[in-house]
């Protein structure tokens, strides 16, 4: 029976995500294999897809595709086919990151030494491959002050305190799909999760806040792990936790009751250190409250230190990017409440997995950058290291605030005139459609095309016309259809947003294009790691006088916080703050794709902005981000050797 491995799954997902054909060269780069391997994998997949009457088709010189005309139903059939395969047969780790997590879990779950040869046999790879994977495992363990002890003829063994081992175990499991099923099979087979959840929910009702679902589930899993580790004699020592700082907390009293109930249920004795361990999880839980923050005392609700931290974050965001969110009371309350629990998580190196992280980075790239500014302030204030998951949660609060600011400013444009050549009935229908889609807009009148000169600037903010307006007018005008379409709605929405926020898309795009130059276009770059690539490109910028010595350091620091690869073979490295001597973008095309964070990268845009351009960073950054989402064109960009050809292709991206 055929078993679908991770590479084949990744291949089918790539094909399903494309509306247009994709070349074997592009797929090979993304998956880190050869074009020949892709061709063989397609043949293998087609043998399975034949069961549901579907095939991956190939068009010479164009690429592979699954006929989109077959519709969503076929997509669902394909997903169901491969999901069933996974349920029936399991999945042997194939990709490097999967092997690393597998090895990490095996080492944690093994009480004694385990040989590299044994791991190699389990993974069907060579010992040298396992040795290389172990280097990455050691880097992961460093985050938790854990080490591998290696003894000749015995193998490797994990060393470190129990609390850190559990945090590491929990995070490594949380990084896998179907983690609860996997967790149940490997660690908590004889522990009833539902019973633990019921006990936990009963007592956390005594807390002054409600706990969101994700941290509640995390807490239940941590308790389940604790029960199994205690049974094996693996206890959290009191000395590893500052107990005197916890005993007076309400959370400590609740944790004591949870532990007592679990002791009775499972007939085990739970040491004092475990009570403190659960207390830490309660302190680190995300609070879920919906209060009238307009009437409440912010400082009392979120705590003076957290309130001040939020103020410092918003002041720094305003200083760096000229985005003033300091009067948004909803943001101050929500972010302050979030930080109250986040600081505790960071203090004890707990990781609250953010299941939305990839979507946040993809859909809200600039708000994620604002989250990094916040992370820097937190780290400077507390010396705590803020991870990507926490930055993602902070970015959500900031994105909501930015949207509120946009919506508030959108409401300032209300007065709209309708110009229509199709008669009064059509004009009235169009006016009603506009008012329905944009309820804050006031239609001040409908006009025939010949009376456009009668419209007064003092009375109208925007003209919507069903015919092109050729004469000069001091009032902004948009050409739309008599029957409002989705494109028309988007056009109006973009105009209103850009008008209110002083964003001129055409101006921003022109500014973006002016940042490129032939002298900063590099092909055949043969560096093998993100750091070496950044150092190579930034050194050139330094030599040419665009940046000073601090630029490279700042870009590497930003990269350390969160990789700037965005998928689709592209990375956009940039410094923590706009600090270039002269604004520019260096382009680097790698000879061969490299691993960059979670993605494969071949095309690099090194972004350097001067202080005077920092207000435009969000527009330029978002423009660049959107422009490189076209996968087919990015694949073509990676093949260009001439700057003019590259830019001609780049400008064609809409």
Q: Is the confidence at residue 324, as pLDDT, over 80?
A: yes
What's the CA gap between 329 and 499, in Å, rounded?
Answer: 25
Question: What mean pLDDT comes out for the span 41-55?
Answer: 85
Does 406 or 56 have the greater pLDDT score?
A: 56
Question: What mean pLDDT comes out for the span 238-243?
Answer: 60
Percent of the chain clearing pLDDT 70 (strictly above): 83
What are the residues facing 445 on neighbouring strands?
A: 417
Q: Supply the pLDDT for residue 158.
A: 92
The CA-based dihedral angle spanning residues 613, 616, 618, 622, taken in that order and rounded to the nearest 10 degrees: -110
Please check whether residue 337 is in contact with residue 289, taking contact to mean a CB–CB distance below 8 angstroms.
Answer: yes
Q: SS3 of 37, please? A: helix
Whole-structure pTM value: 0.66
Q: Is the confidence at residue 87, as pLDDT, over 60?
A: no
Q: Supply the pLDDT for residue 547.
A: 94
Burial 315-332 (b: 16+ CB within 10 A, else e): ebbeebbebebeebeebb
Q: Is the confidence at residue 119, as pLDDT, over 70?
A: yes
**Crossing angle of the two packed helices 272-283 and 329-347, in degrees rounded to 10:** 160
Q: Supply the pLDDT for residue 89.
A: 40
Q: Supply the pLDDT for residue 618.
A: 76
What would the pLDDT profile of 283-314 be if each residue is shown by its tens digit? 777 555 555 554 456 677 677 888 899 999 99
Please check whether residue 593 is in contact with residue 32, taking contact to mean a CB–CB distance below 8 angstroms.
Answer: yes
Q: Residue 382 — pLDDT band, cuts 50, 70, 90?
A: confident
Please check whether residue 466 is in contact with residue 429, taking contact to mean a CB–CB distance below 8 angstroms.
Answer: no
Residue among 257, 293, 292, 289 nearest 275 (CA): 257
Q: Is the confidence at residue 241, as pLDDT, over 80?
A: no
What's the CA gap between 133 and 127, in Å, rounded?
Answer: 10
What's the CA gap between 544 and 60, in Å, rounded?
Answer: 44
DSSP secondary structure string for all residues of 270-286: PPHHHHHHHHHHHHTSP
Question: What mean pLDDT comes out for the span 69-89?
Answer: 60
What would the pLDDT profile of 530-539 be if each residue is shown by its tens digit? 999 999 999 9
């Amino acid at each position: 029976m055929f078993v679908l491995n991770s590479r084949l799954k990744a291949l089918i997902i790539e094909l399903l995500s494309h509306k247009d054909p994709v070349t074997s060269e592009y797929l090979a780069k993304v998956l880190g294999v050869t074009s020949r391997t892709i061709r063989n994998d397609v043949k293998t997949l087609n043998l399975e897809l034949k069961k549901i009457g579907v095939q991956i088709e190939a068009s010479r010189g164009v690429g592979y595709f699954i006929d989109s005309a077959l519709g969503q139903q076929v997509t669902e059939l394909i997903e169901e086919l491969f999901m069933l395969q996974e349920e029936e047969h399991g999945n042997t780790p194939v990709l490097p990151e999967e092997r690393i997590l597998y090895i990490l879990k095996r080492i944690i779950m093994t009480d004694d030494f385990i040989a590299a040869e044994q791991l190699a046999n389990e993974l069907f790879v060579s010992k040298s491959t396992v040795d290389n994977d172990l280097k990455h495992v050691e880097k992961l363990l460093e985050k938790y002050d854990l080490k591998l002890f290696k003894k000749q003829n015995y193998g490797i063994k994990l060393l470190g305190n129990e609390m850190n081992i559990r945090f590491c175990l929990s995070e490594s499991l949380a990084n896998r799909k179907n983690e609860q099923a996997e967790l149940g099979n490997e660690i908590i087979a004889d522990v009833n999760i539902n019973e633990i959840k019921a006990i936990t929910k009963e007592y956390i009702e005594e807390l002054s806040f409600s706990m969101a679902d994700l941290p509640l589930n995390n807490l239940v899993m941590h308790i389940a792990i604790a029960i199994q580790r205690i049974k094996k004699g693996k206890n959290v020592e009191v000395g590893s936790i500052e107990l005197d700082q916890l005993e007076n907390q309400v959370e400590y009293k609740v944790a004591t009751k949870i532990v007592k109930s679990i002791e009775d249920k499972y007939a085990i004795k739970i040491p004092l250190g475990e009570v403190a361990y659960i207390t830490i999880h309660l302190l680190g839980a995300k609070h879920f409250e919906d209060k009238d923050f307009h009437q409440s005392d912010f400082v009392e609700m979120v705590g003076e230190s957290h309130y001040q931290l939020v103020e410092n974050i918003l002041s720094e965001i305003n200083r760096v990017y000229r985005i003033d969110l300091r009067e948004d009371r909803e943001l101050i309350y929500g972010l302050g409440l979030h930080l109250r629990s986040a600081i505790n998580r960071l203090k004890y190196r707990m990781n609250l997995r953010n299941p939305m992280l990839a979507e946040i980075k993809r859909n809200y790239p600039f708000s994620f950058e604002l989250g990094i500014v916040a992370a820097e302030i937190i780290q400077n204030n507390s010396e705590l290291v803020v991870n990507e998951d926490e930055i993602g949660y902070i970015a959500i609060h900031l994105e909501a605030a930015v949207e509120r600011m946009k919506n508030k400013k959108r409401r300032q444009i209300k007065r709209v005139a309708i110009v229509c050549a199709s008669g009064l009935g059509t004009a009235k229908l169009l006016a009603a459609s506009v008012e329905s889609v944009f309820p804050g807009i006031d239609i001040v009148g409908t006009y025939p095309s010949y009376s456009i000169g009668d419209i007064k600037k003092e009375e109208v903010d925007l003209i919507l016309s069903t015919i092109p307006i050729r004469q000069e007018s001091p009032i902004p005008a948009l050409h739309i259809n008599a029957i409002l379409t989705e494109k028309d709605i988007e056009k109006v929405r973009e105009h209103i947003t850009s008008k209110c926020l002083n964003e001129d898309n055409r101006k921003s795009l022109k500014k973006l294009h002016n940042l490129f130059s032939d002298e900063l276009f590099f092909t055949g770059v043969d560096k093998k790691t993100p750091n070496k690539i950044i150092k190579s490109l930034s050194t050139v910028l330094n030599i040419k006088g665009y940046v000073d010595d601090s630029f490279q350091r700042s870009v590497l620091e930003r990269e350390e916080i969160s990789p700037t690869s965005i998928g689709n073979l592209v990375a956009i490295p940039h410094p923590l703050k706009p600090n270039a001597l002269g604004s520019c973008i260096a382009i680097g095309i790698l000879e061969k794709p490299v691993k960059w964070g979670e993605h494969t990268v071949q095309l690099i845009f090194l972004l350097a902005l001067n202080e005077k351009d920092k207000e435009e960073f969000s527009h330029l950054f978002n423009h660049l981000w959107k422009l490189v989402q076209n996968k087919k064109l990015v694949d073509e960009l990676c093949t260009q050797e001439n700057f003019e050809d590259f830019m001609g292709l780049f400008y064609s991206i809409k």
